[in-house]
C-alpha cells in the first residue's frame, strides 16, 4: 500500500472498533462543574485524592464543593503501591465515600482506579498532566517492588473534567516529557495489531496538536491556547492508549522504567524515537503519518527534531540508568512474547537499549 497523501485517511478493509464509555467535560474553568457533575451522577460524599505536592490545590477544590467533600487523601504515589491503596481504602470507608475525585497526573488517577477496582466507587478525574490514564481501562499496581498491569472496565473513570487552568502550573520540563509520553500512545496506536481508522484518525490529530502546542508552551508556559491544544491532544492520546494494544515502545518503557526505577515520562521521552526507528520499516504507513503530523522526512526524524526543539532528555544515562543494566533490560524486554510490527530480536533490542542509553540516535537511525 502506498503511503497516505495529505488529508487522506487510512481506511482498512476490515477492523474491530471498541468504544469506551465515559463523560468528558473540557475547557477552561470547568472545575466549576464538579458539584453539578457529582449531583448528576447521584454522588453525595467524595473522597478527594492527590499527591502530596498538589495537596494545597486539592483543598481549594474540596472547599468549592462544600459538604459534598467527605474526605481528603494526599499520599498518592507513582506506580500505585498497594500499601498506599490500603490506606486510601480505609480513608474511603471512614468517610463513607460514594465516589472519588482524583486530581493530578497518572499517580492520582491510578489511586482512584485502585479504589474503584476494590469497591466500584464512581470515579471523577481532574487530570493535570498529559499521561492519559483517565481514558484507559488499564491499571498498573506495585507490590513488593513488582508492577502488575491489567485491563478491566472496572477501573475506567466515569467522569473526566479537563480544566486547562490546572495545567498552567505544570513545569516546562514535565510538560515536555508528559506531552511526549502522550505522543507515544498515539504513535503506537498507528501500528497496533488491532488498529482501526477511527483511532488512527485521532492519533494523527493528537500528534499534530502536541507537535504544535509543546514548543509554544516551552516558549510561553502561560499560553492558554497552547495549553488547551496540548490538553486536547492528551485526551485523544489517552483514548488511543485505552482503545488499542501497545507494542515495543510501551513494553520497553515498562521494563526499563519499572526495573531500574526511572522517571516514567522521561523514560518514554528518551525511548520513543528509538522505538519508531526500530519499527519504521515494518510499519511504513505509521511512520509516514507521524512525519505528516509533525512535519518531517520520516516519523523518526520528525520525533528527533521535536525532541531537539524541546530540549528533551535524550539518553537513558542522563535519567539515571546504569550502563551495567543494559544486558538485563534487553533480557527482560524479550522475556514474554508480545505483538510488534517488527519481530522482537534479542540482539536488535540490545542494540536499541545500548544506543538509547548513550543517546546515540544518529548512529542508530543510520543502521548497523
Q: Which residues bind ligand NAD (CB under 6 A)?
A: 51, 53-54, 78-79, 104-108, 110, 128-129, 131-133, 136, 138-140, 166-167, 169-170, 174, 178, 241, 264-265
- Smaller CB separation from ligand NAD, 174 or 201: 174
Minimum Å gap between C-beta 164 and ligand NAD is: 10
Residue 16: C-alpha distances to residues 44, 197, 225 (Å): 38, 10, 35
Minimum Å gap between C-beta 127 and ligand NAD is: 8
- Smaller CB separation from ligand NAD, 106 or 273: 106
Alpha-carbon span 187 to 303, nearest angstrom: 10
Q: Look up residue 138 and give its three cell numbers.
A: 488499564
Contact between residue 288 and residue 204 where contact means Cβ atoms under 8 Å apart: no
Minimum Å gap between C-beta 333 and ligand NAD is: 17
- Smaller CB separation from ligand NAD, 174 or 348: 174
Minimum Å gap between C-beta 189 and ligand NAD is: 13
- Smaller CB separation from ligand NAD, 53 or 331: 53
The candidate with the shortest Cα–Cα distance to 206, out of 223, 224, 222, 188, is 188
- Smaller CB separation from ligand NAD, 185 or 292: 185
- Smaller CB separation from ligand NAD, 140 or 273: 140
Contact between residue 134 and residue 112 where contact means Cβ atoms under 8 Å apart: no
Alpha-carbon span 20 to 71, nearest angstrom: 29
The SS3 of residue 110 is helix
Minimum Å gap between C-beta 240 and ligand NAD is: 11
- Taking CB atoms, the residue at the shortest distance from ligand NAD is 106
Alpha-carbon span 271 to 277, nearest angstrom: 10
Secondary structure of 262-330 in HEC code, one letter for each residue: CCHHHHHHHHHHHHHHHHCCCCHHHHHHHHHHHCCCCHHHHHHHHHHHHCCCCCCHHHCCCHHHHHHHH
Minimum Å gap between C-beta 9 and ligand NAD is: 26
Amino acid at each position: 500500500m502506498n503511503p497516505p497523501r495529505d488529508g487522506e485517511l487510512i481506511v482498512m478493509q476490515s477492523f474491530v472498533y471498541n468504544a469506551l464509555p465515559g463523560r468528558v467535560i473540557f475547557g477552561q474553568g470547568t472545575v466549576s462543574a464538579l458539584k453539578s457533575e457529582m449531583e448528576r451522577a447521584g454522588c453525595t460524599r467524595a473522597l478527594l485524592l492527590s499527591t502530596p505536592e498538589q495537596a494545597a490545590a486539592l483543598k481549594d477544590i474540596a472547599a468549592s464543593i462544600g459538604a459534598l467533600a467527605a474526605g481528603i487523601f494526599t499520599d498518592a504515589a507513582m506506580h500505585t503501591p498497594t500499601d498506599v491503596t490500603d490506606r486510601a481504602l480505609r480513608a474511603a470507608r471512614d468517610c463513607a465515600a460514594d465516589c472519588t475525585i482524583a486530581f493530578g497526573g497518572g499517580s492520582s488517577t491510578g489511586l482512584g482506579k485502585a479504589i474503584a477496582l476494590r469497591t466500584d466507587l464512581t470515579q471523577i478525574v481532574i487530570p493535570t498532566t498529559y499521561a492519559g490514564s483517565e481514558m484507559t481501562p488499564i491499571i498498573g499496581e506495585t507490590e513488593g517492588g513488582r508492577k502488575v498491569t491489567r485491563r478491566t472496565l472496572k477501573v475506567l473513570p466515569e467522569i473526566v473534567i479537563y480544566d486547562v487552568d490546572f495545567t498552567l502550573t505544570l513545569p516546562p520540563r514535565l510538560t515536555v516529557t508528559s506531552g511526549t509520553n502522550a505522543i507515544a500512545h498515539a504513535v503506537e496506536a498507528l501500528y497496533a495489531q488491532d488498529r482501526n481508522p477511527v483511532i488512527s484518525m485521532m492519533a494523527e490529530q493528537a500528534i499534530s496538536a502536541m507537535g504544535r502546542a509543546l514548543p509554544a508552551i516551552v516558549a510561553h508556559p502561560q499560553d492558554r491556547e497552547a495549553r488547551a491544544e496540548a490538553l486536547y491532544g492528551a485526551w485523544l492520546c489517552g483514548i488511543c492508549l485505552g482503545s488499542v494494544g501497545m507494542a515495543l515502545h510501551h513494553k520497553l518503557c515498562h521494563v526499563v522504567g519499572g526495573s531500574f526505577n526511572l522517571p516514567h515520562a522521561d523514560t518514554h521521552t528518551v525511548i520513543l524515537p528509538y522505538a519508531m526507528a526500530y519499527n519504521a520499516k515494518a510499519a511504513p504507513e505509521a511512520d509516514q503519518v507521524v512525519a505528516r503530523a509533525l512535519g518531517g522526512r520520516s516519523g523518526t526524524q520528525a520525533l528527533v527534531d521535536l525532541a531537539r526543539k524541546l530540549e528533551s532528555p535524550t539518553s537513558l544515562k542522563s535519567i539515571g540508568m546504569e550502563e551495567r543494566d543494559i544486558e538485563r533490560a534487553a533480557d527482560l524486554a524479550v522475556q514474554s512474547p508480545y505483538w510488534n510490527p517488527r519481530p522482537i530480536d534479542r540482539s536488535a533490542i540490545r542494540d536499541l537499549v545500548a544506543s538509547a542509553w548513550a543517546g546515540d540516535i544518529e548512529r542508530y537511525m543510520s543502521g548497523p
